[in-house]
Amino acid sequence: MSSGKVIEPPPETKRKPGQVKRSVRRLESKAKVDGSAEYIHNLSLPGMLYGKIARSSIPHGKIRSIDAAAALALEGVHAVITGEDVRRLIPDPYYGPAFHDQPILALEKVRYVGEPVAVVLALDPHVAEEAADLIAVEYDPLEPVFDEVAAAKAGAPIVHDILKPAATFPDLKHLEGQSGTNVALSSRVRRGDLERGFQESDQIFEHTFRNGKVIHAALEPYVTVAEMAGPDALTIHTASQSPSFVRSEVSRLLGWPENRVRVRTAFLGGGFGGKLYIKLEALVAACTLLVRKPVRIALTMEEQFYTITKHGATVRVKTGVKNDGRILAREVETWWNGGAYADIGPRVAQKSGLTSSGPYDIENIGIDSHAIYTNEPPAGALRGFGVSQVVWAYESQTDIIARALRIDPLEFRRRNILREGRPHATGMLMSDIDIDAILDRLAERMDWDRPFDHGSGPIRRGRGIAIGMKACVAPTTSVAMVNIYGDGSCGICCSTVDMGQGSDTAMAQIAAEILGLSAESIRVIHPDTDVTPYDMATLGSRSTYHMGNAVRRAAEDARTQLLRMAATALKTDMEELECRDGAVIARSGARMTIRDVMVARFAMQAGNIIGVGSFIPPYEKPDHDTGQSRQITPFWMLGGAGAEIEVDTETGRIRVTKLVNVGDAGSAINPEIVERQLIGAGTMQFGFTVFEEMIFSEGQVLNASFADYKIPGMLDLPHDLTGELVEVPHQHGPFGAKGIGETGMFCVSPAIGNALYDAIEVRVTEMPLTPERVLRALREAKDQPLGSDE
C-alpha cells in the first residue's frame, strides 16, 4: 500500500557541513532581540493575586506572635498566610533536596534575617507590598552563630535541633548529619598513608584560605506563578532549573501523586545554580491551594540576597613536598558556611571535597569537608558547586610552594599533574583528560617564557596561573523524546532548561546530526512535566553530556523507526538506507522525504514517530570512610586560567589587564557558544575575585542591592579577555562532548591572587581581593598596619 514517491537524487547531492561541531546561532536568536522571548517573568493570569513576603528581622529566635490585623485591614488585601496556615494544608511543610529542613513559612523559629514569615496576597502588587510591611512579628531572640568554623565547634548555638535527611538523591543517601551539632555532613577521602607522606617530605606547607559569600544575581528575578488545574491538580509556572525536582518535591509535600502536579518553565533570564530545587515553588503552591486562585510571587533584587548565596568557606591545606618538586602528601579540610538551611549544601561539600586535593598525582591524601549550618541566608549551588572555593585555596598554595622551591609555577604543576590512567584521590583512574594540553595552551597564551616587566613606582605588574578540576555530579538521569510529525518536521521534548547556556541549540544539533536535518529546523519544546520527560536538573555542567546522550539515543530510536518504515515503502533493507538532507536516501540512490515516509505509512500527512532515549552513567558510591570509588564521575572537568594585573600600591586597587580562561570541552558541539560560556563564567568569577562580597552585620546583609553590591560591568572587564577551548574528546560523550558551563569559574581567583603576589610579593589569603584587603596586606608586610575602623 505504499504511495511514497521515489525520487531520483539530484546530480550533486552535497553533504551539508556537520550539525555538531558547528557554531549554529542560538535557535531563539530572533525572539531574544525583538522582545518576544518567553520568560515566566512575563506571565500574568486572569484573577491572579500578587504575593509579597514578610521576612524575619532577626537571625535566630522563637516566634512569639504574628499580628496580621493591620495588614488585613488594608483595603485590597485578599489574605495573609502564615506558617500555621500552611501547616493546616501540609502537615509536615519542610522541604529541601538534601534535608527536609526548610519550612515553607517559618514555624516556631526563625533562623536567618530575611527568612519568610508570612505572605500577603492582593490583586494589586503595591497593596501587597504595603501590607507586608504592616505585619508585626514578636520574637524571643536566641543566640546566633555566623562563622562556619565557630559553628562547627562544640558548644556553639544550635541552628537545627533535629536533622531530617531527605534521601532523595542516590549520592546523598548516606547523609545522616550529626544531631546536636551544626554539622549537616562531613565527608572524607583517605588514600595512602598521610602521616608517612608528611614524614618523608622535605618541606611542609600549611595555610588557611577564606572566601566570603556572593550571590548569583541573575537578572531575571526568582518568579513563580501557580494556578489550580481543576479541583485537585496544580500547574506551577516557574523560573526553575529543575522542573522535575519541583514536581516531585511539591507532590511529596502535598501527598499527591506526581501526575497531579504540572511544572513548566520557559527561557530563564540566567540561573547560575540559584534557581535549583525549591525556591518559591512550594510557597506559591501552598498559597494557591489555600485561596484557590492563581498566585504570583516575584522577588526583588534585594530579596535575592536573602534567598540563596554561594558558600563562604574556610579551607585549610597542608602539603608535603620533596625538594625536587614532587608532592608527597596533601591534607585538605574545608568548612562550608551553609547558612540556615541545607539546600544542596551537603552535595556541594561532598562533591567539591572529593576533588579538593586538586588535579595532582599525590599518593597520600586526606580530605575532610564539612557542611555547616549557621544563621545566615542559605547557601547552595553557584556555578561550580564549591569547586572555585577549593581551587582558590590549593592553587594559591601551589604557587607558594613552587616559589619556595624556586621552581617555575608552570613547571611545578607539570611535575605533579594527574595523567591518563593514573588514580585520582578517590581511586578512580583518570580517563579522557590531558592537563598537559591545558598547561601548554596557558603557556602559549600567557607568553610564559618571555621575561615579564613587573614595573617600578607605585603601579606594579604581575602575572599568575592556576589549574583546577571538578568531577561532574553523579549519578543522574536524563530522558528525552524526539518526535517526528506527519509533515516530517521534528520536535525534541526534554526538560533541560535553557538559561542562556544554549542547550536548546546544542540538543537540536545533536538530534539533527542523527536525523540528517538542519539544527535550525528543529523545535525544542520547553520543560513541561506533563509533556517533557524526567531530567534530574540543569546543573553542574551535566546537560550536554547527560541530556545530550539521551537526545542522541532518542534520535537514534526515531531514526530506526523511520528507516524501517522507509525500507517497507522502498521495498529494501534498512541497512541500505540513511538519513540525510531531510530525507531517507538509499544506497541505490532512491530517495524519500520524511513526509513521504509518513504518508506512505499513515496514508496521509499524519501520525508520529516517537523516539525515546534515556541515559544514566555508571557510578559507584564512594566508600563512607575513605571516599574510594572506581567510578565517581562520568567525566572530569578540567580548566586553567592565566591573569596579568596591575596593582596600585598606594590604593591597593587591582586592575586585571589580561584574563585567559582555558577549558576542556571534549569535542565541542557548538564551539562559539562554548567559548562564550568560558568568558561568561570567567567574568563572573572575576567579579567574585576582585569586588563582589556580601557584607553582613549580625546576619543582616548590608549591601543587598546593585547600588552597594557591584557586579562586573562593561568598564570593569579586562581588555584582553579570552576563552580558549582545549578539545580532548570523551569516549562516552555525545559526539565526544563534555560539559563546560562551570569550567571557566574554577581558576580565575587563584590566577589573579598569584598575579597579585607576583606583583607585590604579598599574599592575600581571603577573597575578594578588595583594595582595602590588598592595602592592609601591603602595609602589614611593611610593618605599618592600617588601623581598624571598628
Is residue 682 packed enough to be buried (19+ CB in 10 Å), middle (13-18) or exposed (0-12)?
A: buried
Instruction: For helices 387-404 and 345-354, give the axis angle rounded to 10 degrees.
Output: 30
> What is the smallest separation between the CB atom of 297 and another protein, expressed in angstroms?
14
> What is the smallest separation between the CB atom of 34 and another protein, expressed in angstroms?
6
- Minimum CB distance to another protein smaller for 684 or for 740: 684
Chain positions 150 to 169 lying near another protein, rule: CB under 8 A, are: none
Residue 742 is a catalytic residue: yes
- Minimum CB distance to another protein smaller for 241 or for 396: 241
- Minimum CB distance to another protein smaller for 500 or for 627: 500
* Residue 516 contacts which entry, another protein, ligand FES, none (Cβ below 5-8 A, type-dependent): none
Region from 85-93, 268-276, 313-321, 469-477 binding another protein, contact rule CB under 8 A:
268-276
Taking a C-beta distance cutoff of 8 angstroms, is the pair 146, 377 a contact? no
270 binding ligand FES? (CB under 6 A): yes
Chain positions 31 to 50 lying near another protein, rule: CB under 8 A, are: 31-37, 39, 41-42, 44
Chain positions 483 to 502 lying near ligand FES, rule: CB under 6 A, are: 500
Determine how many CB atoms are found less than 10 A away from the CB of residue 195. 12
Number of H-type helices and E-type strands within the chain: 19, 31
By CB under 8 A, name the one of 25, 87, 207, 773 that touches another protein: 25
Residues near 379 by Cβ (< 8 Å), separated by ≥ 6? 213, 308, 309, 310, 311, 312, 336, 337, 338, 339, 343, 345, 348
- Minimum CB distance to another protein smaller for 223 or for 728: 223
> What is the smallest separation between the CB atom of 270 and ligand FES, expressed in angstroms?
5
Cα–Cα distance for residue pair 151/373, rounded to 1 Å: 7
Among candidate residues 115, 675, 692, 742, the one labeled active-site is: 742
502 binding another protein? (CB under 8 A): yes
Total residues contacting ligand FES by CB under 6 A comes to: 3
Taking a C-beta distance cutoff of 8 angstroms, is the pair 385, 352 a contact? yes
Chain positions 70 to 99 lying near another protein, rule: CB under 8 A, are: 74-76
CA dihedral 412, 424, 724, 317 (to 10 degrees): -60
Chain positions 232 to 251 lying near another protein, rule: CB under 8 A, are: none
* Residue 217 contacts which entry, ligand FES, another protein, none (Cβ below 5-8 A, type-dependent): another protein
Cα–Cα distance for residue pair 285/247, rounded to 1 Å: 11
> What is the smallest separation between the CB atom of 434 and another protein, expressed in angstroms?
27
Chain positions 100 to 139 lying near another protein, rule: CB under 8 A, are: 124, 126-127, 130
Cα–Cα distance for residue pair 179/181, rounded to 1 Å: 5
- Minimum CB distance to ligand FES smaller for 500 or for 723: 500
* Residue 676 contacts which entry, another protein, ligand FES, none (Cβ below 5-8 A, type-dependent): another protein
Taking a C-beta distance cutoff of 8 angstroms, is the pair 238, 263 a contact? yes
508, three cell numbers: 537540536
* Residue 616 contacts which entry, ligand FES, another protein, none (Cβ below 5-8 A, type-dependent): none
217 binding another protein? (CB under 8 A): yes
Total residues contacting another protein by CB under 8 A comes to: 59
> What is the smallest separation between the CB atom of 303 and another protein, expressed in angstroms?
10
Cα–Cα distance for residue pair 485/163, rounded to 1 Å: 50
Chain positions 636 to 675 lying near another protein, rule: CB under 8 A, are: 672-673
> What is the smallest separation between the CB atom of 714 and another protein, expressed in angstroms?
5
Please, which residues bridge with residue 298 across strands? 223
Cα–Cα distance for residue pair 682/743, rounded to 1 Å: 9
Determine how many CB atoms are found less than 10 A away from the CB of residue 482. 30
219 binding ligand FES? (CB under 6 A): yes
By CB under 8 A, name the one of 345, 366, 680, 699 that touches another protein: 680
User: Nearest to residue 752, comparing CAs of 480, 468, 396?
Assistant: 396
Residues near 588 by Cβ (< 8 Å), separated by ≥ 6? 572, 576
Chain positions 499 to 528 lying near ligand FES, rule: CB under 6 A, are: 500
Cα–Cα distance for residue pair 567/547, rounded to 1 Å: 29
276 binding another protein? (CB under 8 A): no
Is residue 372 packed enough to be buried (19+ CB in 10 Å), middle (13-18) or exposed (0-12)?
A: buried
By CB under 8 A, name the one of 95, 272, 448, 746 that touches another protein: 272
- Minimum CB distance to another protein smaller for 285 or for 684: 684
Q: Supply φ then ψ for residue 260, to 5 degrees.
A: -100, 0
29 binding another protein? (CB under 8 A): yes
Assign residue 253 a region: left if phi > 0, alpha if psi is -120 to 50, beta otherwise?
alpha
By CB under 8 A, name the one of 153, 705, 780, 781 that touches another protein: 705
Determine how many CB atoms are found less than 10 A away from the CB of residue 745. 31
> What is the smallest separation between the CB atom of 500 and another protein, expressed in angstroms?
3
* Residue 660 contacts which entry, ligand FES, another protein, none (Cβ below 5-8 A, type-dependent): none
Output the furthest CA–CA distance in the chain (Å, rounded).
94
* Residue 5 contacts which entry, ligand FES, another protein, none (Cβ below 5-8 A, type-dependent): none
Cα–Cα distance for residue pair 670/674, rounded to 1 Å: 6
> What residues act catalytically?
742
Rule CB under 6 A: which residues touch ligand FES? 219, 270, 500
